[in-house]
């Protein structure tokens, strides 16, 4: 495990459960399992907590006292950062894109309940969001504070190590359950999760990884490859992940954080079949991608596929289905 050399906090309850999806396996004809990272036990759970265990350990070790991060209006990452900072007694400021602002619903309700400072920036461009974050950082510094900026999604190599660990955790659970993981499928939003999973899968040996793209990113394959290889270097592994190992399937639908018909249908199928709730921004579209790939014969017969539930359920209470 990577946490011997590099600082890591315990913010979530791990291992999260992993279970076979009986009903979905029947419907799709594929051996399907789910990794419940939505159940990691802080706020309403989600993948960002594994990244934050590394990022906030670093912030604390270096004596930072105020955390800033950015995201979309309903950012899961921002809310989970705020929740973890509240738990650790760190100050936190969220700088969010105004588009998609809902008032006190979903994650914005949770941010309000935690009494977190939220600054909205009316722009479609992250460079404007970071410019605003920089202005806030300068103001905080002038007041004698030591601010720590976490980039969007926490998708930096250090954060990705959380998903390197997650694959080790999943492989151990699978072994106990009596099967071998052949394929992992996860959402690819800002790339840190996918990058970490790739690195973890490579360390385990023969596990394929497919990332489902749910937001528009330029040169995304290269970016994920870079994150994975730089994360490898952090833990003294060879940075030997090749570009073609980053497999991406695009299921954005009408746009980032805009529900898609297929995504909504996939959310309903999962809820009706398994009693599990996915979200309209990431996991619903990713599961829709999984269902489509099953139909197209993408998975080898007999393959054991693990779908990572990366969280995001608060958006169900903010966006239309
Ligand atoms: C952020 C997020 C993702 C995507 O993870 P990245 O590491 O940003 O690619 C997937 N699912 C949910 C619910 C998220 O909040």
Per residue in 174-217, pLDDT tens? 999 999 999 999 999 999 999 999 999 999 998 999 999 999 88
The reply to whether the predicted model has a pTM over 0.75 is yes
Ligand 1 atom index nearest CA of 38? 13
DSSP 8-state secondary structure symbol assigned to residue 241:
-
In percent, the amount of the chain with pLDDT more than 70 equals 99
Pick the catalytic residue from 2, 25, 75, 188. Answer: 75
Predicted local distance difference test score (pLDDT) of residue 218: 85
* 309 close to ligand 1 (CB < 6 Angstrom): no
pLDDT digits (tens, 9 = 90+) for 226-259: 999 999 999 999 999 999 999 999 999 999 999 9
Residue 101 in this model has a pLDDT that exceeds 70: yes
Cα 87 from Cα 81, distance rounded (Å): 10
Distance CA 60, CA 73 (A): 27
pLDDT at 3: 44
pLDDT for the residue numbered 12: 98
Strands (E), the chain: 18-20, 31-36, 66-71, 91-97, 117-121, 147-150, 183-188, 208-213, 247-250, 304-309
Give every CB contact of residue 142 below 8 A, 6+ residues apart in sequence: none
Q: Could you tell me the pLDDT band of residue 2, with boundaries at 50, 70 and 90? A: very low
Q: Is the pLDDT of residue 36 over 60?
A: yes
Ligand 1 pocket test, pick from 42, 76, 167 with the greatest ligand atom count within 8 Å of Cβ, gives 76
Output phi, psi for 9, to 5 deg: -95, 160
Which amino acid residue places its CA nearest to atom 2 of ligand 1?
189
Question: For residue 51, which atom of ligand 1 is closest to its CA?
Answer: 7
Question: Is 75 annotated in the active site?
Answer: yes
Evaluate whether 151 touches 129 at the Cβ level (below 8 Å): no
| 192 touches ligand 1 (CB under 6 Å) | yes
User: Which stretches of 198-280 are assigned E, i.e. beta strand?
Assistant: 208-213, 247-250
β-pairing verdict for 18-20 and 31-36? antiparallel
Q: Is the pLDDT of residue 7 over 50?
A: yes
């Amino acid at each position: 495990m990577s946490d011997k050399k590099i600082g890591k906090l315990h913010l979530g309850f791990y291992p999260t459960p992993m279970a076979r999806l009986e009903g979905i396996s029947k419907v799709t004809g594929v051996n399907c399992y789910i990794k419940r990272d939505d159940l990691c036990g802080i706020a309403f759970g989600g993948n960002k907590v594994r990244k934050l265990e590394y990022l906030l350990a670093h912030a604390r070790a270096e004596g930072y006292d105020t955390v800033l991060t950015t995201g979309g209006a309903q950012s899961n990452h921002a809310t989970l950062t705020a929740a973890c900072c509240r738990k650790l007694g760190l100050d936190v400021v969220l700088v969010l894109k105004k588009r998609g602002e809902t008032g006190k619903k979903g994650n914005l309700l949770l941010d309000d309940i935690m009494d977190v400072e939220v600054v909205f920036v009316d722009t479609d461009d992250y460079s404007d969001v970071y410019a605003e974050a920089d202005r806030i950082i300068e103001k905080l510094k002038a007041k004698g504070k030591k601010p720590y900026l976490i980039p969007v999604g926490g998708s930096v190599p250090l954060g990705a190590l959380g998903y390197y660990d997650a694959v080790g955790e999943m492989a151990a659970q699978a072994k106990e359950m009596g099967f071998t993981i052949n394929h992992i499928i996860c959402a690819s939003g800002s790339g840190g999760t996918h990058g970490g999973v790739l690195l973890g899968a490579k360390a385990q040996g023969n596990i394929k990884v497919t990332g489902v793209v749910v937001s528009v990113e330029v040169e995304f394959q290269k970016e994920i490859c870079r994150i994975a290889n730089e994360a490898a270097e952090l833990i003294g592994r060879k940075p030997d992940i090749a570009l073609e190992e980053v497999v991406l399937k695009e299921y954005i639908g009408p746009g980032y954080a805009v529900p898609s018909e297929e995504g909504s249908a996939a959310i309903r199928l999962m809820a009706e079949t398994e009693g599990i709730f996915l979200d309209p921004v990431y996991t619903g579209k990713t599961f829709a991608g999984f269902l489509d790939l099953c139909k197209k014969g993408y998975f080898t017969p007999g393959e054991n596929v693990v779908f990572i539930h990366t969280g995001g359920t608060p958006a169900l209470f903010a966006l239309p289905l």
